Structure 1
Amino acid sequence: MFRLGRLKLLVVVVLALGTAGGAAFALGAVGAPTVESVDNHFAGVSNETTAVHTNLTVNNPNPVGVQLGGTAVDYTVAMNGVPIASGDKSGLALAKGNSTLAFATQMQNGQIPPWWHTHIENGETTEVTIDADVSSSMLGGRSLSVAQDKTIETDIIGQFNSTETRPVNANQPLVSDPVLYINETRGSWDRANLTESETPMDLAFTVYNPKPYPYTVSKIGYEISMNDVTVGEGETERGYTIGPGQTETIEADTAIQNGNLDRWWVTHLERNQVTDLSIDFYLVLEGGGEQFRIDLDAIDYETTIETDIFGNKAQYPTGENATTASDSANESESATETPTPTETDDGILGGGSTETTTATTETATDDGVLGGSDSTDTATATEAETTTATPTATSTETATDDGGILALAR
């Protein structure tokens, strides 16, 4: 009888606490948790995957001794809608002030070609979006969210446009140089024919023939490399005849094969998000009774692409510079007494970026009644893991992925 009476008393106490918690929230005595900041960085790369570490800071504004049991948080990071990282934790109890939750996710490098397609389709523009939510059953089943957006722009092909006159030498014993002059080069993405598998470019150059006899261009060839990874090559058998003292516009149909871009991505991170892109051209000419191949060194295109997708690569470098990084991916929560939200806006990729933070919004969810069971982690990251990131060009950081692997089909 005594045990039964004690059990009834405990049930009454638990229900009273739950009711008091909801009433306290309604009266403003208990504050709602908020997401203060979300910090992402690359933490190593292999031929198949890229490690993405996320530190999500949640603030509990309540006084000492009031904790938010049953709290859950989740986040998603995407580039132009292509997911690159996600994770969630539940059953958390947050101390007063800021608590930092760490996540480790493995992105499949096969996500890079789909993202590249959207980047070119959008005029070399990418929206990096970060959505984070925090909810607690003790606070009336409410969910609060914060969104951060960064606009990233590049100009990969624009520098190909030039009106500089450049001589073309054949370096052949029976032909005097220069054999041609290139007076102008023009280039643009052929977005009308852009596909998920191929990124075509419209390249053209205006050629002047200084010789007293005509030249016939029988073939135009090209090779596109990004950090010495061949991402496109081909040869066009399109005939052009350039009369003596005449000019002719020669068009070169070139394309990047998107299926090669996951291999390029590895080198891009190994060089701390830096890529040297080059396009090498050659012509097969017939003239003066001779046929010869000319490497168009005068118009070979070279440009450097430097990105800082999350705006913090100086703090978290990858590749050869990774040894200078301070990357603590501790999966257990750490709390501070005073909330210190921070926000950075350095996500420069090429031409620059802008960041927009959407105000926190509140939605009602049904998280159930806070009971007395132990909290459990049902997330894609393990809560007691500590990882130090020291990726190099030949080795990568080992990061535990607890179910959050993004393995979308290519």
Structure 2
Amino acid sequence: MGVRRKAAIGAVGLLVVVGLVAAAFATGVLGAPSAGLIDHGDWGTVTENETEVVTTVWVDNPNPFGITLRNSVGVEYGLYLNGVGLAEGEKRGVDIPAGNTTVDISTYVRNDAIAPWWVAFVEDNETVHLRAESTADIDDGTVVADLPTQNRTMLANSTPVIDALSQSAAEAEGNYTRTVDTGLREETLGYEVRRGWASWGRVTDETTTVNFHYRIHNPGSVAPVPAVPEGLGMEIGMNDVTLFEAEGDRFETTDTERSAVIAPNETQSVTFTVRMNNSNVDDWFRSHVRNDERTTVETRVQLVFETGGETFRLPRLDGPGYTCEFQTAIMVDDQETATDCAQPDSVTPE
């Protein structure tokens, strides 16, 4: 008998066995196995290339003997954050011994899914929506169990990342003036920042845009001052991963010409836009997982103006900037979602 014919007969035989077992379940000759969820997922091994998710289900076989149907019995799992499929996988060829047993399924977060999730995360106002799905089945369509779908929402009404950037922008609030000799008399030259904050702009898989908004007043009585800085420095680190940074004139202005000035005793609203590369977002995500889903955010923003031969740095010192923390509970059991990142209060009323 030829090899192909033997294989064909073997395949037909397996299908017959599967069909007979399914029929036995349906007619009550065999007790149908049941299944349930023990844990919708725990973080496993984290490497530079992938992040493991381990899901555990229980399966109860009421029959006095085990069930083995090669690849016909399996468990499938899917993890979705903000509607983006981060990890999907299955384990087939599951042996079901008599009685109760547990099955671990390992799936892996795809690095190429992190950037689309970041887009959804920012667009959802930094709220994390978790959905985890599991199914145990037999290949012929007989479903052993549709395991409960896990749904969870985290960081609702919290925006830790943009709040941290807003706090750094707000650190520029205050007076930055000097008395200069014009040759005729002494005059006040400089700036007063009445308010500073940040907001998200357009975000794609490749880039993230942040808008920095300022209410800037010219406290001088004679000379106008530039409304647009010579340079803008911005950095955001999360768990010591430099997520985004920009220096110098790598920014755009919104509704303000670069040559625009603020007249004496006048106040102007200006917006500076920084577009940054998302290449380090997956590095931060892995650090967040390794750190039990805790992230320390460090931000720094500084404007540099030049006028009348003087340089003004807002804020004055290159300090550590603003630091805060947030934590999630995607896979960490019994952990509360929390953050101490908060929106700034303006030190000077408009």
TM-score normalised according to structure 2 size: 0.69
Query: Contact conserved, 1:277 with 1:302, CA < 8 A, in 2?
Result: yes
3-state SS of 2:280 partner? helix
Query: Contact conserved, 1:124 with 1:155, CA < 8 A, in 2?
Result: yes
Residue 32 of structure 2 corresponds to 31
Please state if 1:117 is matched with 2:119.
yes
CA shift digits 1:69-125 (9 cap, x unpaired): 333212122223433333322333323554222233443434321210111123323
Deviation of 1:47 after TM superposition, in Å, equals 3.0
Residue 308 of structure 1, aligned match among 319, 326, 329? 329
Residue 185 of structure 1, aligned match among 196, 200, 203? 196
Whole-angstrom distance in 2 between the partners of 1:104 and 1:349: 28
- Report 1:166-245 matches (<5 A): 166-169=173-176, 179-190=190-201, 193-212=202-221, 213-216=223-226, 217-227=228-238, 228=240, 229-234=242-247, 235=249, 236=251, 238-245=258-265
Residue 5 of structure 2 corresponds to none
Residue 135 of structure 1 corresponds to 137
Taking a change above 3 Å as real, the CA distance of residues 170 and 265 of structure 1, as seen in their structure-2 partners, is farther
Residue 326 of structure 1 corresponds to none
Residue 155 of structure 1 corresponds to 159
Q: Post-superposition, which runs of at least 4 consecutive aligned residues in structure 1 deviate over 6 A?
A: 15-18, 161-165, 170-178
CA shift digits 1:14-42 (9 cap, x unpaired): x8997587345444971342232333222
Whole-angstrom distance in 2 between the partners of 1:249 and 1:111: 38
Taking a change above 3 Å as real, the CA distance of residues 93 and 218 of structure 1, as seen in their structure-2 partners, is closer
Query: Contact conserved, 1:219 with 1:239, CA < 8 A, in 2?
Result: no
Whole-angstrom distance in 2 between the partners of 1:226 and 1:31: 53
Whole-angstrom distance in 1 between the partners of 2:163 and 2:117: 20
- Counterpart of 1:292, as a letter, is T
Number of aligned residue pairs: 299
Taking a change above 3 Å as real, the CA distance of residues 209 and 74 of structure 1, as seen in their structure-2 partners, is same
Please state if 1:285 is matched with 2:274.
no
Please state if 1:254 is matched with 2:286.
no
Residue 379 of structure 1 corresponds to none
3-state SS of 1:31 partner? coil
Deviation of 1:131 after TM superposition, in Å, equals 1.5
CA shift digits 1:137-180 (9 cap, x unpaired): 7x983343222222233413246279899324479999999943
3-state SS of 2:283 partner? helix
3-state SS of 1:37 partner? strand
Higher strand share: 2
Query: Contact conserved, 2:288 with 2:294, CA < 8 A, in 1?
Result: yes
Whole-angstrom distance in 1 between the partners of 2:179 and 2:292: 42
Consecutive unaligned residues in structure 1, runs of 5 or more: 1-14, 313-343, 352-410
3-state SS of 2:279 partner? helix
Please state if 1:59 is matched with 2:63.
no
- Counterpart of 1:69, as a letter, is T
TM-score normalised according to structure 1 size: 0.60
Residue 337 of structure 2, aligned match among 327, 348, 357? 348
3-state SS of 2:269 partner? strand
- Counterpart of 2:151, as a letter, is D
Taking a change above 3 Å as real, the CA distance of residues 88 and 164 of structure 1, as seen in their structure-2 partners, is closer
Residue 395 of structure 1 corresponds to none
Deviation of 1:247 after TM superposition, in Å, equals 1.7
3-state SS of 2:331 partner? coil
- Counterpart of 2:237, as a letter, is M
Taking a change above 3 Å as real, the CA distance of residues 83 and 16 of structure 1, as seen in their structure-2 partners, is closer
- Counterpart of 1:30, as a letter, is G
Taking a change above 3 Å as real, the CA distance of residues 248 and 140 of structure 1, as seen in their structure-2 partners, is closer
Residue 348 of structure 2 corresponds to none
Deviation of 1:225 after TM superposition, in Å, equals 1.8
Consecutive unaligned residues in structure 2, runs of 5 or more: 1-15, 253-257, 341-350
RMSD of equivalent CA atoms: 3.9
Deviation of 1:60 after TM superposition, in Å, equals 1.0
Whole-angstrom distance in 1 between the partners of 2:176 and 2:244: 27
- Counterpart of 2:329, as a letter, is D
Whole-angstrom distance in 1 between the partners of 2:142 and 2:80: 27
Taking a change above 3 Å as real, the CA distance of residues 176 and 61 of structure 1, as seen in their structure-2 partners, is farther
Whole-angstrom distance in 1 between the partners of 2:229 and 2:57: 62
Taking a change above 3 Å as real, the CA distance of residues 168 and 255 of structure 1, as seen in their structure-2 partners, is farther
- Counterpart of 2:93, as a letter, is G
Query: Contact conserved, 1:21 with 1:30, CA < 8 A, in 2?
Result: no
Whole-angstrom distance in 2 between the partners of 1:239 and 1:276: 38
3-state SS of 1:259 partner? coil
